[in-house]
Structures are given as C-alpha cells and as structure tokens.
Structure 1
Amino acid sequence: MKKFSGSQIRFCRVALLNALICVPFTTLAASNYFDARNDAMGGTGVASSNWGTAALANPALMTKAPVESHVDIILPSAGVQISDKDKMVDKIDDVVDTVDRYQDVINSLPTTSFTTRPTLASLAELQRLNAQVRVAAGDMADKLRDLRNNKSQGKAGAALAVTVPNETLPFAFVAKGYGTVSLSTDVNQGDIDYLQQIADGKRIPVRGDEDRLTSSATGLAAIVADYGIAMAHQFDVAGHPVSVGVTPKIQQSWLFNYKAAVYTYDKDDVTNNQYRKDDTGFNVDAGIATDVGENWTLGLSAQNLIARDIETKEVNGFKDTYQIRPLVTGGVSWHTDRLTTAFDVDMTPTKGFKTEGDSQYAGVGAEYRLFDWLQLRGGYRADMKSNDKNVVTGGFGLSPFNNSVHLDLAGSAGEDKTWGAMAKIGFTF
C-alpha cells in the first residue's frame, strides 16, 4: 500500500488555511472531521457510517466492509460552515474605510487649531473642513455603536483516507484537519463619546487626536491536523460480535492570536505567521460497535482521548488557551436495504478556546436509497448548551459505475444567517 506523500499529508493544512482566509468569519459539527454523508444526516455517524468513512467517525465500523471489497479511498472530503449574523466582517471593513476618510480630513486641517486665526486657508475653507470632520466623526461613532457585542465565527475541515478491509484487521491511513476562526470586538464607550462630541461641535479636533481611540478587535484561529492509522477487529463476546477500533495519531496544531485596533484591523492578518504558535503531540481515537438483531447497530466513539492545553502567543497583552479534550459520542442506527436512520448524542462537551463557550450536540438523520446509485439524506443537529446554532441539514449521494465512484454533497442552514456546504469524492475498488 502506497503511503501518503509529504505533499498529500499537508493537504489538510493548506485547504484549511485557504478556507479560513477566503471566507467571512459558528462552529460546525461536534466532530473534528467533515463527511458530506454524515453531515447531511444531522452530523450523525457513530453507528451509521459506511465502512469507507468509518475511520473518520468510529473506526470500529471498518469491520462492516463487504467480503468482496478491496480498498476505499476518500480524496478528499471537505466542508465549511459560517455564521455572521451581524455582518461583522463587513462592518469592520466599513470602519477602516471611515477611519481613512476621517484621517484624510484631519490631515488636511491647518497645523493650528480652529481657535487660532487661520493662516493657511480662508475661514470658509476652515468651515468646510470642520463640517467634513463632524460628519466623519458622527459616521465613525455610529459604526462603533453598531459593532458593540458583535461576534463572528467559522469552521472548515478536510480529510483524506485510504481504507483496506480484511477479515482479521481492517486498517486505514487517515489524514484529517479542522480549523476554527472567531472574531470579536472590544468597543470603548470613550471612543464613541469622543467622536460624538466632535460630531455635535462640542470638541475641536486637532491632528493626532485620532490616536487616542482605543477600541480593538481580536481574531483567534486554530488549525489541528491528525495523521494516523486506524485499525479494527471484531471479537466474539459471549457469542455476540463486538467490533473495536483504535486510531493512534500524530497531532499538529497551529494557533493564531491577532489583536489590533479596530480602526486598522485586517482580517487577512489573522493567519499571519508572526501571530502563530505551532505544537506537535500524540493522541488517539477509539470506538466500539455492535449489531443488535438484523436492523440495529449501536456505537460509541471517543476522539482525542489525551487531553491537551496549548497556549497562543501573547499579542498586545492578550493570550488564550486552546483546549483539546476527549469527545465521547454515543449513537444508534436502524437500517434496512433502502432506509438508514441514525441518532447521535455527545456525552462530553466540545471545547475550543478557553474564552469561548462549550457546545454539546445531538443529531438525528436519515438516508433513503431511492436507486442503487442515488441516495437522499436529511437531518437536524442541535447544541444542547445553546452556544451554537441549531441547523437543518440535507444532501444527496451519487454512486455510479456499480458503486465504484461516490460523490456526496451536503448543506446546512440555521438561524442567524448560518449556512454550510460539504462535499466528498470517494472511490471503491
């Protein structure tokens, strides 16, 4: 079996960086992977994943491969979900533009104050400039008011997997990554008061006064990439088949902490290397699954069994800690030749940056195989801690050429202008 090349195992990081930079800034699924089939079914998969994607959700399910199967390749699976209720990214861009206009007007003022007899311009010119300054200051004050308590978040993920089934020890080479970005503001009421005083004509600005403005914006980003080998085996427990899977993995993380004045903030700088801190460690995923009768499957997965705390760089007096914690999820699936239903629930919370709230998800979904080559899917996922948006999910799968090629597409939509898109291409030989 050919192993991943150096360029292939870097795919997840490159794809995530591009996604996080190119889209506007809610966290996505409870899992740390993206699979269009599972995501279309409400983010389920612990008991309902196909054997070819089992290494991503529950490695124990790799033992369910048909006898005639030889290898399954995911190349790749990827997705993104965004929530920007207040259009915060656009607002910050507008503030920066407004600041530029304000500074242009301030810089055009004479070096003396308005109370001094003008020497470089006529009184009419000073009055015109004064009016422009008041308008620009009022515009800035309004935009800062609109930015208060705003927050935007996004998440992206990508995965590659090569699964080789056999009766004794099915295994898979896995490379997967997930990234999160959050953007928040700290608007100083003193800035608003100062600008409003200028707009109302109660304060006379002079050059350099704009430097007193202290409102800031903070961008936090985390990218975690896992490179591992998943293995599974089916045991006979008191005459009942029970499958167990484990995925030891190398875990790399890149954390970004960017804090700057809101007036000079550039979202593209969030992933600048000067704000980055790297870390490499070891972790492990595990899972268990068993069939009950002909139509029921029970599953339990545990991702990142080794807890890790990773600190960001300190930037402008601020730093945060990214928390990697065990995520235990239980699932049940009922299935026939045409219909699969699934229900998953997290038994532990999903954590991230320490300054942000935890989430704990429950999802329900179904897949109906309309034809051998067409599958229709739908579901719903909710955050039981109410820190993330609840979403409706849906999608479809195409598997032509005797199911040797798989194309899965999914989307999600929820409150507060939350949307997501996922895609997966796979091959079975």
Structure 2
Amino acid sequence: MKKIKSLAALGAASLFVANPTWAAGTWAEARSDAMGGTGVASGSYGSGALINPALLAKAQEEDSFTVILPSVGAQITDKDNLQDQIDDISDKVDNYEDVIDSLTLQQIITNPTGSLNLLQGAAGDLAGELEDLRGKTAQAKAGAGISVSIPNNVLSLAFVTKAYAHGRVSSSIDQQDIDYLRGIENSDTVATGVAIDAATNGSDAITRNLNSTASGRAAIVSDYGVAMAKQFDLGGVPVSVGITPKLQKTWLYNYTTSIYTYNSDDWNSSRYRNDDTGFNVDAGFAADFGENWTVGLSGQNLISRDIDTKDIRITNGRTGETKSYKDTYQISPLVTAGAAWHNDLITLSADGDLTETKGFKSEEDSQFVGVGAEVRPLSWFAVRAGYRADVKGNDSNVFTGGVGFAPFNRVHIDLMGLYGEDETWGAGAQLSMTF
C-alpha cells in the first residue's frame, strides 16, 4: 500500500523529472474537481487544455496568456484498512519464521510443551491474519497537469503535459494455507511433526507449504500535446471546437509475489515493470446559449490502446504447479457531456460520462456523473462544492469542496478536498498565473 501511494504521487511528480485526472476522467484541475469533477462546460479557457480543448476558444477580450504550474490531485480508497493489514501480516510472518528458525531437536525433546505452544500460537496468529485479509483491496489514483494557454481570435493554442496514475493492491489467500496453519494450531501431533521437520530440514520445510499471493497493479499514463481551438458563429450561437493531438507514454507495474515475501521496495523492479509509447488525441465541443447557458462535449483518448503487463510466473511450493499472472491496461475513448448555468455570482454545473471509464481488465468499469456549484462573493474569492457518483456502483461516491483565491486577478490559487464512502479521501491544489 505504501508503494501504491508512492506511485500515485509519482504520477504527479513525474511531470517535473526526467520521466513522466484523477477523478472521473484523465485530468486533475482543482477548481473543477472541487465542483464534483465537472468542467466540460463550466471550465475556464485556461483549464481547457486539461479538460475540454474547445474551452480554449472561449477566452474573453480581457483574458491573456495563462500558465497552470501545476495542478495536482490524489485520491485513496482503503475501506478494508489494507495498509495496516499488510503491516500486521508481515509482523506475523516474521514471528512465525523466528519461532521456526529457533526450533532444535534438543529443544523439542527437552521442552516439548514450550516448543509446541510457541509454534501453535504463531501458526494460529498467522492463520487469523490470512482469514482477515482474504478478499480485501485498496486503490489509489493521482493526476497532475501543466499547461500554457495562448488565446487568439484566429486560433487559440495551448501546450499541455498531464499524467494520471491508478494503482490497486489485492490479496489472493489460499485456503489450504489456513487449513495447514490451523492444523498446526489445533493438533499436538501435527505440530510435533512440523516442528521435527523444521528442526531437521530448516524453515523451508514449512514455508513451501504456504502459497498465498499479493498482487499490486499500477499504471501511469503521461500525455504531451498541443491543443488547438477555434470559435465559430452558427446562426447567432457561438460554437467552439478543439483538438489535442498528443504523444502518450504508459508505464505498467505488475508486482505479484508470495504474500509472505511481499516488499513494497520491489515494486519498481524492472522484473515487474514495462512501458509503451504511442499516439492519441482528445477533442471537444462547446456552445453558448444566451448569456447564462453553456453546453459541452469532450472526448478523451479517442484512439483505443490495450497494453499488456509483464507476465509474472509463480511456482506453488506445495504442488509444483507454475501459475501465470498477467493483466491488460485499457486506454479507451471517454466521452463526457456537460452543461453549466452561470452569472457574475454563481456557476452551476453537471457532467455525465456517456462511455465507461476503463482500466485493468481484471477490474470493473465505472461511469461517473457529477454536479457542482461555485459561489463568488468577492472578485478574488470563490467557494465550491459538489458530488460525484459512479452509476455502476464500482467506485466510491464522494462529496467534494474547495476554495479559490485570485489576488489582483493575476495569481490564482485553488484548493480542493473530497471524502466519500469506503474510507475514500483525497486532496488537490493548483497554481495558475495570467500575464
């Protein structure tokens, strides 16, 4: 779980090092994230390169060169408290191995009761942890973005770099591990045989009978593109269209190993990591109806790409069978529609995904809807709130909120936070400047 959190942070931090939205889409933008993850119609022209490239063309005469440097966000769901569970099972494994390694034939003969009590207690503790850990998962998401937007009456441009990361840790508990450990705990005869075997042949005689695994999957996708947008007048209706061709690089992590030797430091090993580079494109549309209504449509990653993780093979010490662990990360079109009502004081927004949000094939798809509001009581201060839900019920529903500060209308600081079911929480921040 620690490494999942590190990978989530890496998805944001990687924009600032030699390598490489976290909410409902593939972007992080603190204002929109605070408003329930909406922004397809309600986003500003400066954030258009991250959310909907068509918004780039909606700059007003007073708007100027805008830089977002950066926007970052992260979200963690750990309803089963898996982080502490893994720490606990590591302690139990260490204790179990220490007991096994300390056994000697002389000790078993001279103090059989004491030796068996230690072994049976350690085996029972470890079996209890395995039972409690069975079926539990934890996941994290993160995103970051940098953009430089240049409004123009002929063709608005923006240079954009963004990254989003998604990670998940799960366990696969072998029932025979639990049965084996409970057998030691509950039978003096079995415990004596195991103790003699361990004292004679070493702890490998025990651990080869334990075959539960832990799997960590993570993906980091980074985009490098140039957004272009143009506004047209169609029957008196201002209509904007935009497109972002981009280079896309993906890093995949498939850390699958015995749960008894799980080490978060091994996540980044080349044995479990591979990468892929390709081309993709985002596109968008926005239209203004009267002074107060805007509707929008965005399409992210319009070119589908399926990328396989590395194939990790683990041999079952009990049966000698080798099992393959492999997954496929799906980059697929995500189309979102949005509408917004706005005046000088308030903005109300609603977005809904028309397609599913995909990830690893081993995971369930999601489809998000969100609503949000922004109130601007002062020219330099804004308060925001919203709600986002997964209509498929596979991701956590969350409440969002945040504030924005814009001293002198030159420097913009936006902060957001979220909290939802299944112990889900997150935060984000954004710094932007206009010149």
TM-score higher than 0.5: yes
Q: Give, in whole Å, the separation in 2 of the partners of 1:32 and 1:195.
A: 45
Correspondence list, 1:85-234, <5 A: 85-110=79-104, 112=105, 120-121=106-107, 123-202=109-188, 203-204=190-191, 205=194, 206-207=197-198, 208-234=205-231
Q: Give, in whole Å, the separation in 2 of the partners of 1:17 and 1:339.
A: 30
1:16 maps onto 2:11 in alignment: yes
Report the Cα offset of residue 137 of structure 1.
0.4
Question: Residue 422 of structure 1 aligns to which amino acid in structure 2?
Answer: G
Report the Cα offset of residue 199 of structure 1.
1.1
TM-score w.r.t. structure 1 length? 0.91
Report the Cα offset of residue 28 of structure 1.
4.8
Report the Cα offset of residue 372 of structure 1.
0.7
CA RMSD, Structure 1 to Structure 2 (Å): 1.6
2:277 pairs with 280, 287, 295, which one?
280
* Cα 1:124–1:370 shift into 2, 3 Å: farther
**What residue in structure 2 maps to residue 420 of structure 1?**
426
**What residue in structure 2 maps to residue 5 of structure 1?**
none
Q: Give, in whole Å, the separation in 1 of the partners of 2:386 and 2:152.
A: 32
1:392 pairs with 399, 408, 418, which one?
399
Report the Cα offset of residue 124 of structure 1.
5.0
Moved more, 265-274 or 165-174: 265-274
CA contact 1:13–1:177 (8 Å) conserved in 2:
no
CA contact 1:221–1:270 (8 Å) conserved in 2:
no
Q: Give, in whole Å, the separation in 1 of the partners of 2:222 and 2:300.
A: 13
CA contact 2:58–2:240 (8 Å) conserved in 1:
no
2:410 pairs with 396, 404, 411, which one?
404
Question: Residue 299 of structure 2 aligns to which amino acid in structure 1?
Answer: A
* Cα 1:14–1:387 shift into 2, 3 Å: closer
**Identity within the alignment, %:** 53
Q: Secondary structure at the match of 1:274?
A: coil
* Cα 1:368–1:353 shift into 2, 3 Å: same
Q: Secondary structure at the match of 1:68?
A: coil
1:270 pairs with 267, 271, 278, which one?
267
**What residue in structure 2 maps to residue 372 of structure 1?**
379
Q: Give, in whole Å, the separation in 2 of the partners of 1:38 and 1:266.
A: 37
Report the Cα offset of residue 259 of structure 1.
0.5
* Per-residue deviation, residues 114-163 of structure 1 (Å, max 9, x unmatched): xxxxxx33745332221111111000000000011101100011110000
Q: Give, in whole Å, the separation in 1 of the partners of 2:431 and 2:206.
A: 56
CA contact 1:13–1:225 (8 Å) conserved in 2:
no
Moved more, 83-92 or 384-393: 83-92
**What residue in structure 2 maps to residue 300 of structure 1?**
297
Question: Residue 421 of structure 2 aligns to which amino acid in structure 1?
Answer: E
2:351 pairs with 344, 347, 350, which one?
344
Q: Matched residue pairs, number?
A: 402
**What residue in structure 2 maps to residue 328 of structure 1?**
335
Q: Give, in whole Å, the separation in 2 of the partners of 1:268 and 1:240.
A: 56
Q: Secondary structure at the match of 1:352?
A: coil
CA contact 1:28–1:154 (8 Å) conserved in 2:
no
CA contact 1:172–1:230 (8 Å) conserved in 2:
yes
* Per-residue deviation, residues 298-333 of structure 1 (Å, max 9, x unmatched): 000000000000000001211100000000000000
1:358 pairs with 352, 362, 365, which one?
365
1:250 maps onto 2:247 in alignment: yes
Q: Give, in whole Å, the separation in 2 of the partners of 1:386 and 1:225.
A: 27
Q: Secondary structure at the match of 1:313?
A: coil
2:61 pairs with 67, 78, 86, which one?
67
* Per-residue deviation, residues 390-428 of structure 1 (Å, max 9, x unmatched): 00000000110x210011000000011100101001101
CA contact 2:22–2:73 (8 Å) conserved in 1:
no
Q: Give, in whole Å, the separation in 2 of the partners of 1:67 and 1:13.
A: 38
Question: Residue 421 of structure 1 aligns to which amino acid in structure 2?
Answer: A
Q: Give, in whole Å, the separation in 2 of the partners of 1:318 and 1:304.
A: 27
**What residue in structure 1 maps to residue 3 of structure 2?**
none
Q: Give, in whole Å, the separation in 2 of the partners of 1:393 and 1:403.
A: 24
Report the Cα offset of residue 68 of structure 1.
2.8
Question: Residue 228 of structure 2 aligns to which amino acid in structure 1?
Answer: M
CA contact 2:12–2:72 (8 Å) conserved in 1:
no
Q: Give, in whole Å, the separation in 1 of the partners of 2:265 and 2:28.
A: 24
* Cα 1:49–1:122 shift into 2, 3 Å: closer
CA contact 2:12–2:143 (8 Å) conserved in 1:
no
Report the Cα offset of residue 17 of structure 1.
7.2
Unaligned runs of 5+ in 1: 1-11, 20-26, 113-119
1:55 maps onto 2:55 in alignment: no
Report the Cα offset of residue 33 of structure 1.
1.0
* Per-residue deviation, residues 72-123 of structure 1 (Å, max 9, x unmatched): 101110010000011112211211221111111111112x4xxxxxxx3374
Q: Give, in whole Å, the separation in 2 of the partners of 1:217 and 1:359.
A: 24
* Cα 1:186–1:154 shift into 2, 3 Å: same
Q: Secondary structure at the match of 1:234?
A: strand
Q: Give, in whole Å, the separation in 2 of the partners of 1:68 and 1:349.
A: 38
Report the Cα offset of residue 18 of structure 1.
6.1
- Flag as ranges the 4+ runs of structure 1 deviating above 3 A: 12-15, 121-126
CA contact 1:15–1:158 (8 Å) conserved in 2:
no
TM-score w.r.t. structure 2 length? 0.90
* Cα 1:122–1:263 shift into 2, 3 Å: closer
Moved more, 382-391 or 197-206: 197-206
Q: Secondary structure at the match of 2:71?
A: strand
Q: Give, in whole Å, the separation in 2 of the partners of 1:168 and 1:82.
A: 42
Q: Secondary structure at the match of 2:325?
A: coil
1:78 pairs with 49, 72, 75, which one?
72
Q: Give, in whole Å, the separation in 2 of the partners of 1:121 and 1:70.
A: 81
